[in-house]
Amino acid sequence: MNNIVSIGTSHHIAPIEFREKLAFSEEQLIESLHNLRNSYHLKEAVILSTCNRVEVYAVANPQMITESPTKTLLDFLSHYHRIGADILKKWSYLHQNIEAIQHLFRVTSSLDSMVVGESQILGQVKEAYDISRSAGGSGTILNRLFTKAFSVGKRIRTETTIASGAVSISYAAVELAKKIFNTLEQKTVAIIGAGEMSELTAKHLVANGVSKVIVANRTYERAVNLAKKFNGIPVSYDENLDFLIDADIVISSTEAPNYMIQRKPLADIMRKRKHKYMFLIDIAVPRDIDPDVSKINHAFLYNIDDLEAVVASNLKDRYEEADRAEKIVTQEAQRFHDQLQILEVNPTIKALHQQFQDIADVEIQECLNLANLSKTQESAITSMANAIVKKLLHHPVQNLRHSVNDGNADHSQYVHALRELFALDEKYDKEQE
């Protein structure tokens, strides 16, 4: 039987120091998906890695896995990231079957996000799924699951106002900047990294009065492309921080493995600035800015976790809509789970029908070969045999389907018993593929 399992961690239960240890680059995602299928013998897998969460969704292969699928996922993350299993258990959650389905639906609907109703997570999940599908990680079950998850996310955004209002991580960054400077007019922002989060934050800042934008990136062409959108100044990042001398606000969001801004070089910049206030927001995971930067006078450093308090004050109007969305998620998760159970019993039902029909066909042909019957008589015998097959299987099939629709956990035992009793081997499974 199909067993959907997931393991993950998020901003809800784990600090950034732990989450950044579990983060995957795109190259690591592809490598890990192959590893999960080949070395850990999982039928399907999708890995989601964002600033706020790392999650693995998988379908177990009961013929090849010798231990519980949740333990398999735990072992994978522990070995891959070289993190002790006990520490991993402390800061992670495990879900199975309907709980895993419901959790994914909550994620794609942004109900599990730091900012409830934010729109980025749906695109992030789609990207993770596309990578998995391209790498051969997802299959029949996860394809159905993620397609449904996207549908649920869209439905909630259509039927509720959970996504209304300018509430996002980038908007929270702007709110913090306003508290420090009172006004953003005539301020200069320096953006390190040219990704989507950097662009979104820059848009909010410019819309709130920032007059000058500096974009620094290791790839100069990307810096040029982003700077054009804001009539800004592109800079090639080469560890020389002089471009920060005029910056009042610094936003850093890269995928660099090490700190892009360290304490001593920035302290030198602050002296050149005559210690004018500088507001630094590190929205990268792993972090781009050395936490010790906060010890520099007049330098105010916030990381992505610090934004949560700002976000919380902007969520009051969304709580009622979130309750409505939660009900939709619960209903859709149960409906999908029920459909999945029906899909699981259908091959057995088809195989049972096929076996009975094959036997009937053989016996009909032997009967017809022995007797000299008219076409009408042959047709009558064939119809009678087919009717007997249908009537013999009617109650067993109906009871099996009812056990699924009623949420009977024993339906898997019924399926197993039927396959054993009637020797429904792989021959019939392959014929239905």
Active centre residues (catalytic): 51
Nearest CA among 25, 41, 128 for reference residue 76: 41
Cβ contacts of residue 216 below 8 Å, gap of 6+? 190, 191, 192, 193, 223, 234, 235, 236, 237, 243
Q: Which helix (H) or strand (E) element contains residue 106?
A: helix 98-108
The whole-angstrom separation of Cα 129 and Cα 366 is 53
Give the CA-trace dihedral at 23, 28, 32, 35, to 10 degrees: -140
SS3 state at 317: helix
First CA to last CA across the chain, in angstroms?
16
Omega into 286 within 30° of 0, i.e. cis? Answer: yes
User: Could you tell me the sign of the dihedral formed by the alpha carbons of 149, 154, 158, 161, in that order?
Assistant: positive
The whole-angstrom separation of Cα 252 and Cα 367 is 82
SS3 state at 24: coil
SS3 state at 200: helix
Cβ contacts of residue 109 below 8 Å, gap of 6+? 152, 153, 156, 157, 162, 325, 328, 329
The whole-angstrom separation of Cα 284 and Cα 197 is 9
Output the CA angle 136-254-226, nearest 5 degrees. Answer: 100
Structure tokens at 266: 């920035």
The whole-angstrom separation of Cα 172 and Cα 362 is 73
Nearest CA among 115, 123, 171, 150 for reference residue 322: 115
